[in-house]
Amino acid sequence: MLLARPWFTDGAVIRRSREVARVLTGHGLGALVDQTGLRRFRPLRLRAHGSQEPLHQAQRLRAALGELGATFIKFGQTLSTRADLFPAEVVEELAKLQDAAPAVPVEAIRRTILEDLGADPDSVFAHFDPTPIASASIGQVHGARLGDGREVVVKVRRPGAEEQVEVDLQILAGIADWATVQTEFGRIYALRPLVDEFAYTIRNELDYVREGRNADRFRRAFDGDDQVWIPRVHWDLTTRRVLTMERITGIKVSDLTMLDQVGIPRRVVAENAVRIFLRQALDFGYFHADPHPGNFFVQPDGALGIVDFGMVGRLPEALRLRLLRAGLAAIQEDPEGLAEELYSLGVAGPRADRQGFQRDLDHLIGHFGGRSLRELSATAVTRELTGVVFRHRLQLPAELALLFRVIAMSEGIGLRLDPDFHYLEFASPFLRRRWDRHHALPAVAGRVGQAAREAAELGVEMPRRTGRLMARLERGELQLNVRHEGMAAFSRQLQRMTNRLSLAVILAASVVALGLAIGAGVIPGRGEYIEWLFRIALPFSLVFGAALLWSMWRAPRQ
């Protein structure tokens, strides 16, 4: 639904919109300002000027988003997962966005802890390190020690971060609504749901209670797996703005030199990292959505400690099943079956050229078909698939786009640890076991039983529902809502036609009136100058009418 009023009516939003327009224009992205409805906010002194650096547009965009701070950095990172919406060079450049920021003065951090925990950090903790371990655009992390000697990390939200994010989300929502009406790109793709999904994600990241719950959920899911270490949350020292967790130490998964020095086999670490991801995606139905190397710490026995659960992806059972079926269709080299499964995922809508889409999938299968799993790269396969989706101007579900990104990141970790690691070959047994479990007799019996219960409940409820429906029909309360996807374009065309017709009628009336006035000789008595004014107006009207006829003749016939 479009906004009931322009998004730029709020004072804070206006000021921030001016800043966004200034930064984009300063980086040489004036065209983007025009295409996002921010043109009115662009400073006059920058209207004809921009950055003179010899950078590619994608690089300029990355630099501008980085300068705009938390919301736009994370939005850029989200867009980097959407290879189905944006060209490859834009996606690759946005993937380089780093969420880092200058450290917040420790006095501000202490003030937040005092407000939320009711005491100064020196009173809450036996020791609180004033030097931050890490500083990002939303939160800052400090080391601390509890009274019993346990080491913890304290994550504190930056002052004003939530307020800034809310203002930025209003701007992004307004841009999405404006682009939906004013641009072809906005009319093709569902931009507002994309922004709404991003808003849900970043608001979750602002809420450290939710992040703590995510960590607890993962720890329970991996209970009994001694190759995974999920930190415990100290709930008595956690609020929406302060998160206190067990501190995890170890070797960063990207520190290959240290792994070799202490004698931890890299292959073991690679397999463990990918196994952890596959269990999340296939068994749990939710996964750590930011698996960059800085969030994994290798223990002496090869186990992995995982941190930062602010971003979590979810895969409902129905989506997992469709993905498995799509994978099976690809293995069986069945482009029609693969297309059908992708349609069921919501990739293709009414505007899709299904025959052309299926033909390109056939070419894709032909390109990768016949190769062994050792020869295939999961990243290459997903990149080619999203390339097909992009060429056909289709749109992946947000969960699927995020999953593809995480697959690429997890494969990258595996290959960095062991260049001979074959992702799909290692994942194949997990996929096969997941498929077999779904089709095992107990699972099938459970689904049949569930379907029988739902059918029985529907049979019991059907007479009552039918009665309510008939009563509403008799009272005339039923309404039919019709949505026509092409109505906006038709309305604009109809408006142009109406305006042109009205102008033609007015012009014809003016020409006739001028001609009658001059021919009737009523003008001379009113003065020589008025007579000449009318005589000049008549040929101008005729010329203007000829121009109108010419534009109507050259207008496209639709």
* Residues known to be catalytic: 290
Q: How far apart are CA 19 and CA 411, in angstroms?
A: 39
Amino acid at 182: Q
Q: What share of the chain is helix, strand, coil (3-state, %, to 5)?
A: 65, 10, 30
The residues facing 6 across adjacent strands are: none
What does the block give as tokens for 433? 């076991």
Helical axes 57-68 vs 70-79, angle rounded to 10°: 140
**Neighbour count for residue 88 (Cβ, 10 Å):** 13
Asked if 121 and 153 touch (Cβ cutoff 8 Å), the reply is no
Q: How is 461-488 classified by DSSP, letter by letter?
A: HHHHHHHHHHHHHHTT--------TTHH
What does the block give as tokens for 545? 């009418």
3-state secondary structure of 387: helix
Q: Between the CA of residue 286 and those of 100, 216, 312, what are the distances in Å?
A: 26, 13, 7
3-state secondary structure of 250: coil
Amino acid at 178: W
Asked if 400 and 319 touch (Cβ cutoff 8 Å), the reply is yes
Amino acid at 106: V
How far is Cα of residue 391 from the mean position of the Cα atoms in its chain?
A: 19
How far is Cα of residue 521 from the mean position of the Cα atoms in its chain?
A: 71
Q: How far apart are CA 449 and CA 453, in angstroms?
A: 6
Alpha helix positions (H), 372-486: 378-391, 398-417, 423-439, 441-474
How many Å from the N-terminal Cα to the C-terminal Cα in the chain? 28
Asked if 132 and 117 touch (Cβ cutoff 8 Å), the reply is no
Asked if 269 and 413 touch (Cβ cutoff 8 Å), the reply is no
DSSP letter at 281? I
Q: How far apart are CA 394 and CA 380, in angstroms?
A: 19
Asked if 389 and 84 touch (Cβ cutoff 8 Å), the reply is yes
* Residue position matching structure tokens 């890490």: 134
Classify the phi-psi angles of 155: left when phi > 0, otherwise alpha if psi is within -120 to 50, otherwise beta.
Answer: beta
* Residue position matching structure tokens 């995510």: 214
Longest distance between any two alpha carbons in the chain, whole Å? 111
Helical axes 423-439 vs 398-417, angle rounded to 10°: 130
